[in-house]
Structures are given as structure tokens and as C-alpha cells.
Amino acid sequence: MKTRRVPVITLLTDFGTADYFVGAVKGAILSVNPAAVIADITHEIPPQDVETAAFTLLAAYETFPPGTIHFAVVDPGVGSTRRPIIVKAGRSLFVGPDNGLFTYVYDREPAHQTFHITAEKYFRPSPSTTFHGRDIFAPVAAALSKGVKAEAFGPLITDEVRLPTSLTPRIIHIDRFGNCVTNITRALFDNAQHPTLVIKRKVIDTFVDFYSAAPPNTLFAIWGSAGFLEISVNGSSAAKMLGAKRGDAVILKPQKGT
Amino acid sequence: MKTRRVPVITLLTDFGTADYFVGAVKGAILSVNPAAVIADITHEIPPQDVETAAFTLLAAYETFPPGTIHFAVVDPGVGSTRRPIIVKAGRSLFVGPDNGLFTYVYDREPAHQTFHITAEKYFRPSPSTTFHGRDIFAPVAAALSKGVKAEAFGPLITDEVRLPTSLTPRIIHIDRFGNCVTNITRALFDNAQHPTLVIKRKVIDTFVDFYSAAPPNTLFAIWGSAGFLEISVNGSSAAKMLGAKRGDAVILKPQKGT
Amino acid sequence: MKTRRVPVITLLTDFGTADYFVGAVKGAILSVNPAAVIADITHEIPPQDVETAAFTLLAAYETFPPGTIHFAVVDPGVGSTRRPIIVKAGRSLFVGPDNGLFTYVYDREPAHQTFHITAEKYFRPSPSTTFHGRDIFAPVAAALSKGVKAEAFGPLITDEVRLPTSLTPRIIHIDRFGNCVTNITRALFDNAQHPTLVIKRKVIDTFVDFYSAAPPNTLFAIWGSAGFLEISVNGSSAAKMLGAKRGDAVILKPQKGT
């Protein structure tokens, strides 16, 4: 079987799936490169929530094959002076607004390069001021998928916008199952150590390797599939049980040996 | 890189994404043409809301490449005598029920042709009476994508069903961000004029070119990406602030020069 | 036009579409087989609801072309000793956890074969204990799509887990439109018979062939597109009108000739 060489273009937006926005982006991509292979990551980022977009992109992008182009558009500043950019990072390319969306990618890929998209010949004719996803980012992503180099779209920049990061342990995401994803990574621990957590005044000192290993109705910590420590309950929502929301502080007590 | 020649088939329905309906349509298409390229526009049209479907299709279809086949099925009359049709309009093809769904396409493409689908040999065997999306429209769209001409499916008709249209300015759509899309187009104005609007007794006389140019918490008018005048608030929902819903009247006072 | 030979991989999960989960699965598939054609069936199975997943898969899989690989992952036991399996059934392949998800497929395809996936060389490196969808099922599905035989992944088993089935007539699914799908099939009736139903103490003795043939505001029975008897109301939700939910008993009185 011959392997298709066309790169994948992933889509990650806050456009929702009820409007024409996602369809218009797909059409704009396919109009430039009818052979493009489009894979939706999500369009359900909460409106204008750049931080959730940044986390979701981080957790998804590395599973895609080399050469994948990630179209990531959560863009409260659309039409203003915020820059449209391309990021070359590791084996991947990213296209979107320069508003911090790629912060975690920058952290994970320190040798990345960022280009300010200025070459208007790659835009749709008469781009709107309200929908750069369709009129700028989509045709640029499609041009990249046809082999145009990132360098061709504009100058290298080094002052990319980053989200304010904080080393304070906290919840950075709550998923569909109510798992509370923290920003705590394994790098903070010896292999032999399991953390004890305190969140919303509840002590969490159960640590398990898989969900159904936990006793019922018990909050536990687990290394999640995105590489971060998560707080979960088997068969129920930890977020509900804790009354937790994104941003809530987590107190970390590394103490228990395995 | 060789460009794929297979036309895109877009899907626009009120099927939702929680049931088996969309999967069954995709399967029915791929069974006829395994090489078909399927692009979801949306499946979140409110159940049986033909008018929203018509607007969403209008706003999305022109971005797709020539030859694209738009499968659009919001079909309260499924199984009754309402006709299944193919519309050839501009560089696009449309497949769906003859219930007004293509009204805005007819308006934009006056030279369109409409065919009543009667050639049962293109249907799935023993089509159900409740799911023509799967049993009639999907295999017809797939046959079109393999190169069968629209003329082969049945006779030309000229009495297509249209939505009752009204020139009264009003809100025709509210999007995920709470933007209120009106049916007001630029054709109503000189280039030098910016309209003042009154909606729900509120006067809207701020007009901006992009969202973040507007002062905070201020309702403003803006030319939206679908080509219509929209009422918006930067970073918030205009629909909520106005208590507006689809169908609400808009009073138009064209008066302010730029 | 040359027909693409690459099999389709469908996705059916309870992952939702707001998180990174679906994106990660698509990436993991495309990393193994960049030519894979992915078709979403649904990701909106209620969390951990194996029975709804089993019904939805049943209703969708047969429309897909021969050789299609169905990735179906609703997996409360992820990381525990529940077995990952491949099912060869009819012209289709299924990949997922051995927790009853394929019960209805087993019933419809008695000559199926089930393989316990044990060949770790097809897994992603260092698979997580919480996301086998990405780390085990996705690369296995992708390997199948490249032509690896089901037999290569592990031993044949015959003690697959099945959902407790019951011949008691009941509602097994409520769809987006409020139609109540029962587990009653045509096999129970002569061609000449139409059933009368009693549900929630309401007698339903109207039987129609298509939705818009029914009088307004009247509950009626209809043979649905998934092959089961459904209870519906034209233009409204039968589930709401009945206050019905999944699992509710249906009393069946086969009596009315046509």
C-alpha cells in the first residue's frame, strides 16, 4: 500500500460546531489544497479561552505525524494589531494568532522558530476583519501543506506573546469526566515518590495507576495521559465532588515512598 | 505534489452528533464512493429549523472548491411527498429535500438548475421512510462525486419551494459568540454610509471595523464575515445584552457618513 | 476515477469533543498510517455508557464499506485486567475493550471471531494506564488498516463479555429528536400485523409509515431506520410527552392487522 505524503492539518478553535465557521475554514483550506487531510482536534474551546486552547494543543499535538500543520485559532484580538504567526517547533508547524496560544509549545520545544505572517499574497482576497481563521490562517495552513516554507510568509520574530506562567501548583483543566488536570509534572518527583495533595482543604493521599484500581467514592491522584498529575474519582466527577474549578490552587506535599 | 481530483462532499444537518445518524450517512457515502472526501459543516442545526440551515449553508458554501457537493438535510417532511432534489448552482452542487433549504442559494445563483431526484437505482435498497439522509441523499451525493451528472437523476423542475422571504430588516441568526446576524447587506448602503440601528428599543450608533476596536460593554454594528450586518459586543454576548432572539425586528436609519 | 483502497477507520467513543482525547486518537492513528481515512461516528456516548455505545455501533456499522475498521472505545475498566480485543464479524473489523460493547454485533454476526490483543509491539511506546484509546486501540486499528491480519495481534478467545440481554420489550435509546427506540424487531410480527404498545400507561395504537403522515400531537409507532420499533410524535419529542427514559418497559399487544 502506498503511503499518502500529504501532511495533516489539524483544527483547534473556539468556533463551536453549530455555526458556519468550521465549514468555512475547511472550505478555505480545501480551495487552496484540495488534497489536504483535515483532522478536527476540537472546536469546543470555551469562547476566547486562550489558556484552555494552549493546554489542549499541548496534549494533542505530539501524537500527530511529522510535518503535521496545527491550525489553532482562539482569537479575541482578531482584526487588531496582534500578529498572525507560524511556529516551527520540533517536527510540527503551528498557525494562529500571537496571543499566547503556543506558550506551552514554546516551553516544550525551546529550539522553535516563529514567523510573523505578512505575505498577503497567501490570504484570501479582501480578508474580513472578523474572521482571520477563514481568510488568513486557513489559506496559510493550506499553503504550508502544499510545501511552501514557513520562511516565505514573513520575518522571524523572537518576542512572541506568552501566557503569564506560574509555578504555583494549580488546576489547569477539567475534562469531560470531571478529572482535574494539574500543572504538576513528574519532573518534580523522584521515581520513588508519590505526592500527597491538598485541594479545597481536602487531603488526597491515595495514588493509583489506573482508574478502576481506586476504591469507590474516593478522590485519588493519578498520572494522567497528558503527562500531568490529575485528581480523579472512579466512575464519578472529581471536579463536582471537590467543587473545584480551573485555577484552584493545589498544595503539594511530596512525602510518600512507593 | 499531485492534487487529488475527488470532489469534497460537505454535510449540513440537524442530526446532532450524539446519535448514529451522521455515522450512517458517512458509511452510506463511502459504500458508494470509498474515495469520497467528507467535510462536516455542522450537524447542530436546531431540529427541523430549515431557515437556520439555509443561512448556514449560504455562509459556508462559497469557500469550498469548484465541484463540491453539499449534502444538506433538515427534513421535517421526510417520507412524505416533498421532493428530493439536486441543485446545480454556480460551481457547486446541492443535494437535499425541496423544502426551502436552498432559498438563499437560489437568490445568490439565479442561473441555477434544479432536478427532481427520481432515479431509484441510485438509492440504497429498500429505502426507509424515516431516514432519506442515509438511504437517498447520501448515495445520490456519492454518485455525483463519482461523476454521474445531475441530469441523470431526474427531470428539471422550476417550481422549487422557497422560504417566505421578507425585506423587513431582522435578526436571522445568533451565533456561538452571541453576535446577532441581520439580513441587512451592503447593497443597501453607499460606501460612505454607516447605518444606525434600533433593536429592542436600544439605539446602536457605534460602527467598528473589528471586534477589539470597540469600547468595552458597548453594543456596536459591524460587517460580519458572512456578508451581513451584525450587532456585537466586544468580549461578551450581544444577544444576551439585548435579550434578542432570531426574528426580532431591526429598525434601520441610514444616516451617518464615515 | 481510481478508487482508494485504504480502509475507513470509524471512531465511536464517550470522549466528548471538548477535550484533547479525540485529537490524540486521530494523531496516534495517522502516525501509524498517514493514509488512514477516519470517519467520526460519535464521541457523545454518555460517559461510560456501554449499552448506548453498543446500540449506536449496531445502528451505524453496516452502512460502511467492506473492510471498515470500527474503533469503539467506551472503557470504564481502562488499565485494569479487562481485555483489549479485535472482533472480525461479517465484512467488518472492530477494535475496543472486552466489556460488552460488541454484544449486538455478536448477536447479528454469529460467525464472528474475537482475538485478545496481546502483541505489545503494536502499542505506542510506554502506554499509559488511563488512555488505551490513544496508546493501544488507535495504533492497533491503524495497523489493521495497513493490512496486518487480526490473527497477528493475539489468541482467539470465545468467552467474550456480553451485556445482560433481556427479551422484555423496553426502550433502549432515545435520540436527539425524542424518538424512543425499543428493542422490538420485525421478527416478532407477521407482515400483516401492526403492534399496539402500552408505555407509561399510555396506549399507542396509531402506526404510520413516515413521520409527517401522523396527526399532530399524537404518539405513534413506526419502524425506525435502525430496524427497531420506535415511538414518535410528529414535530415534537415523544420522550418528553411520555416522560420516558431508557430502560422503561414497553407492553406489546400484537393484534392489529393492516
- Asked if pLDDT for residue A16 goes beyond 90, the answer is yes
Query: Which residues, listed in sequence order, are joined to residue B185 by a DSSP beta bridge?
Result: B228
Chains with 3 or more CB pairs closer than 8 angstroms to A?
Answer: B, C
**Arithmetic mean of pLDDT, B235-257:** 85
Phi, psi of A34 (to 5 degrees): -60, -15
> Distance of CA A44 to CAs A56, B32, C117, C193, Å?
11, 32, 33, 47
pLDDT confidence of residue A254: 61
* C80 has a chain A CB within 8 A of its CB: yes
Q: Which residues of B touch C176 (CB under 8 A)?
A: 15-16, 18-19, 21, 47
**Close Cβ partners of C149 (under 8 Å, ≥ 6 residues apart):** none
Quickly tell me which residue has 455505545 as its cell.
Answer: C53
The nearest CA of chain B is from the CA of A151 a distance in Å of 20
Tell me what percent of the residues of chain B surpass a pLDDT of 70. 94
Provide the terminal-to-terminal Cα distance of chain A, rounded to the nearest Å. Answer: 47
Rounded-to-integer distance, Cα B224 and Cα B186, Å: 11
The nearest CA of chain B is from the CA of A67 a distance in Å of 15
Which tens digits make up the pLDDT trace of B168-184? 889 988 998 899 999 88
**Considering CB atoms only, which of B17, B18, B35 is closest to C1?**
B35
Percent helix, strand and coil across chain A, each to the nearest 5: 25, 30, 45
* A48 has a chain B CB within 8 A of its CB: yes
Identify the H or E element spanning A83: none
pLDDT confidence of residue B79: 77
Nearest CA among B172, B149, B52, B159 for reference residue B106: B159
pLDDT confidence of residue A255: 59
Question: Could C226 and B20 be called an inter-chain contact, meaning their C-beta atoms sit closer than 8 Å?
Answer: yes
To probe the interface with B, which of C38, C42, C57, C172 has the most B CB atoms within 10 Å?
C42
Which tens digits make up the pLDDT trace of B8-54? 999 999 999 999 999 999 999 999 999 999 999 999 999 889 989 99
pLDDT in tens, chain C (258 residues): 444 467 899 999 999 999 999 999 999 999 999 999 999 999 999 988 998 999 999 999 999 999 999 999 999 888 778 999 999 999 999 999 999 999 999 999 999 999 999 999 999 998 988 899 999 999 999 999 999 999 999 999 999 999 887 678 899 899 988 999 998 888 777 665 777 889 989 999 898 888 878 888 899 999 888 888 999 998 889 999 999 998 899 998 765 544
**Arithmetic mean of pLDDT, A122-140:** 94
Question: Could A30 and B64 be called an inter-chain contact, meaning their C-beta atoms sit closer than 8 Å?
Answer: yes
Nearest CA among A80, A160, A149 for reference residue A116: A160
The nearest CA of chain A is from the CA of C51 a distance in Å of 16
Rounded-to-integer distance, Cα C183 and Cα C224, Å: 11
Rounded-to-integer distance, Cα B144 and Cα B87, Å: 12
* B2 has a chain C CB within 8 A of its CB: no
Identify the H or E element spanning A68: none
Which tens digits make up the pLDDT trace of A147-184? 999 999 999 999 999 988 767 889 989 998 899 999 88
* B130 has a chain C CB within 8 A of its CB: yes
Rounded-to-integer distance, Cα C186 and Cα C201, Å: 23
ipTM of predicted assembly, 2 dp? 0.89
* A111 has a chain B CB within 8 A of its CB: no
- Asked if pLDDT for residue B212 goes beyond 90, the answer is no
* C134 has a chain A CB within 8 A of its CB: yes
Question: Could A59 and C147 be called an inter-chain contact, meaning their C-beta atoms sit closer than 8 Å?
Answer: no
pLDDT confidence of residue B190: 64
* B33 has a chain A CB within 8 A of its CB: no
Question: Could C23 and A3 be called an inter-chain contact, meaning their C-beta atoms sit closer than 8 Å?
Answer: no
pLDDT confidence of residue C213: 83
Nearest CA among B106, B241, B107, B252 for reference residue B174: B241
Q: Which residues of A touch C77 (CB under 8 A)?
A: 212
SS (H, E, C) chain B: CCCCCCCEEEEEECCCCCCCHHHHHHHHHHHHCCCCEEEEEECCCCCCCHHHHHHHHHHHHCCCCCCCEEEEECCCCCCCCCCEEEEEECCEEEEEECCCCCHHHHHHCCCCEEEECCCHHHCCCCCCCCCHHHHHHHHHHHHHHCCCCHHHHCCEECCCCCCCCCCCCEEEEECCCCCEEEEEEHHHCCCCEEEEEEECCEEECCECCCHHHCCCCCCEEEECCCCEEEEEECCECHHHHHCCCCCCECEEEEEEEC
- Asked if pLDDT for residue A54 goes beyond 50, the answer is yes
> Distance of CA A190 to CAs A198, C49, C126, C152, Å?
19, 37, 18, 38
Residue B255's pLDDT band (cuts 50, 70, 90) = low
pLDDT confidence of residue A1: 40
pLDDT confidence of residue C3: 43
pLDDT confidence of residue B65: 96
Question: Could B19 and C3 be called an inter-chain contact, meaning their C-beta atoms sit closer than 8 Å?
Answer: no
Chains with 3 or more CB pairs closer than 8 angstroms to C?
Answer: A, B
Mean pLDDT value across chain A: 90
Which tens digits make up the pLDDT trace of B66-124? 999 999 999 988 877 899 999 999 999 999 999 999 999 998 999 999 999 999 999 99
- Asked if pLDDT for residue A3 goes beyond 80, the answer is no
Q: Which residues of C touch A11 (CB under 8 A)?
A: none
CB distance C238 to C183 below 8 Å: no
Mean pLDDT value across chain B: 90
Given strand C193-199, what is the order of strands in its sheet? Answer: C202-204, C193-199, C251-257
Rounded-to-integer distance, Cα A22 and Cα A28, Å: 10
pLDDT confidence of residue C257: 47
* C18 has a chain B CB within 8 A of its CB: no
pTM: predicted TM-score of the whole model, two decimal places: 0.91
CB distance C53 to C12 below 8 Å: yes
Nearest CA in chain A to C132: A225
Given strand A228-232, what is the order of strands in its sheet? Answer: A171-174, A180-185, A228-232, A220-223
**Cα C25–Cα C26–Cα C31 angle in degrees, nearest 5:** 100
* B73 has a chain A CB within 8 A of its CB: no
> Distance of CA B37 to CAs A9, A70, B26, C9, C68, Å?
14, 20, 10, 14, 16
Q: Which three cell numbers mark B135?
A: 438511504
**Close Cβ partners of B63 (under 8 Å, ≥ 6 residues apart):** A23, A24, A25, A26, A27, A28, A31, A134
Residue B196's pLDDT band (cuts 50, 70, 90) = confident
- Asked if pLDDT for residue A74 goes beyond 50, the answer is yes
* B171 has a chain A CB within 8 A of its CB: no
SS3 A1: coil
Phi, psi of B105 (to 5 degrees): -65, -45
Rounded-to-integer distance, Cα C16 and Cα C42, Å: 8
CB distance C106 to C58 below 8 Å: no
Nearest CA in chain A to C134: A63
What CA dihedral angle connects C113, C117, C122 and C124, to 10 degrees?
Answer: 130
Q: Which residues of A touch B44 (CB under 8 A)?
A: 16-18
pLDDT confidence of residue B191: 60
Rounded-to-integer distance, Cα A85 and Cα A101, Å: 11
pLDDT confidence of residue B5: 62
* A15 has a chain B CB within 8 A of its CB: yes
Chain mean position to CA B9: 14
Q: Which residues of B touch C10 (CB under 8 A)?
A: 23, 26-27
* C15 has a chain A CB within 8 A of its CB: yes
Highest mean pLDDT among A213-222, B26-35, B187-196, B245-254: B26-35
pLDDT confidence of residue A257: 47
The conformation of residue C152, written as its DSSP 8-state character, comes to G
